[in-house]
Amino acid sequence: MFQFAKKNPAAFFLLKALLLYIFWYLFYELWLHPKGYLDAFVIDNLIKSGEFIISSLGYRLIPEPDPEWAIRTLGIDGTHGIWIGDPCNGITLFALFTGFVIAYPGPLKAKLWFIPVGLITIHIVNIIRIVALVLITLYAPQYLDFNHTYTFTIVVYSYVFFLWMIWSNKLAANSLTVKNG
């Protein structure tokens, strides 16, 4: 099977992507997630960034809970706010994006700048998503669940797909053209 994959670029990409996914899944589930440091760091950054944006828009935030409770909530005063769980922190999207770029052919130099830029922009999109959910909680709480489950899932995954298209059609394609040309 490995010989077939070596001769078929699509199969080789899929095999690399699958192996990277398995590695990430085991690494995250068996070591990173149980420790909780990465999830807590990303969620804390989402909350601090969201607080800054919401405060800058002139809203008063819900009172901060006792730090030892680590509640992970963000909201506008007068609402119940939103709770940010590990599945919503974007780490899985970071891994999917990074794995795709690593597995897909392209110059290492471009991967070394495109991956960090992609991760930062995915995080920014997630911050915007969280701020929007907080505003929905204030102005149209009946639509919170729908927007969380569908609208913003589609938006965020579409953005990651857009980054993959940039990588495969522009950055990696240019390097393959230069190599073959």
pLDDT in tens, the chain (181 residues): 556 666 788 888 889 999 999 999 999 999 989 998 999 999 999 999 999 999 999 999 998 766 655 678 999 999 999 999 999 999 999 999 999 999 999 999 999 999 999 999 999 999 999 999 999 999 999 999 999 999 999 999 999 999 999 999 988 866 555 454 4
Q: How far, in whole angstroms, is CA 51 from its chain's centroid? A: 19
Torsion of CA 127, 92, 62, 133, to 10 degrees: 60
How many domains are there within the chain?
1
Residue 10: the pLDDT is: 85
Supply the range of the domain harboring residue 120.
2-180
Residue 75: the pLDDT is: 95
Q: Which residues lie across from 74 on neighbouring strands? A: 82
Closest CA to 114 of 167, 157, 159: 167
